[in-house]
Amino acid sequence: MVGLLLTVLSVATQPAPAPASLNPHAVELFERDWVLDQWARRTFDTNGDGRISIEEAQPAALAFKDLADGDGDGRVTPYEYERAREFILARY
Ligand SMILES: [Ca+2]
Ligand SMILES: [Ca+2]
């Protein structure tokens, strides 16, 4: 009886697992490059704290990939990255 209660309690108090879809590396894209960071903060800093969090970096990284992947093969090459960076610098 006590054992069952303990089992129920330990299940109930376990922290919720982090969403599997979060990519912790997405945020590095913006920490590494101020041009991308500035661009991302305009649209994706949803809580307005001036920083791109891991959660906020997910849609931002997807949007950057859409913007940068000129030939649509699903990968951003260093060349495409530089072109996208120039585009952002010129436009934003
Ligand atoms: Ca934020
Ligand atoms: Ca590409």
Average pLDDT per 10 consecutive residues for the chain, totaling 92 residues: 58 56 92 97 97 97 97 96 97 82
Q: Pick the closest to residue 62 from 90, 35, 43 (CA basis).
A: 43
> What pLDDT sits at residue 7?
58
Q: Establish if 84 belongs to a structural domain.
A: yes
Q: Is residue 11 part of a domain?
A: no
45 belongs to a structural domain: yes
pLDDT at 2: 58
Q: Examine residue 9 and state whether it is found in any structural domain, yes or no.
A: no
Sign of the Cα pseudo-torsion (20, 50, 47, 88, in order): negative
Task: Report the pLDDT value the prediction gives residue 11, as an integer from 0 to 100.
Answer: 53
Domain containing 69 equals 22-91
Ligand 2 centroid to Cα of residue 48, in Å, is 31
Looking at residue 80, what is its pLDDT? 98
Spatial contact of 61 and 67, defined as CB atoms under 8 Å apart:
no
Point out the ligand nearest to the CA of residue 47.
1
Number of domains the chain is built from? 1
- What confidence score (pLDDT) does residue 89 get? 96
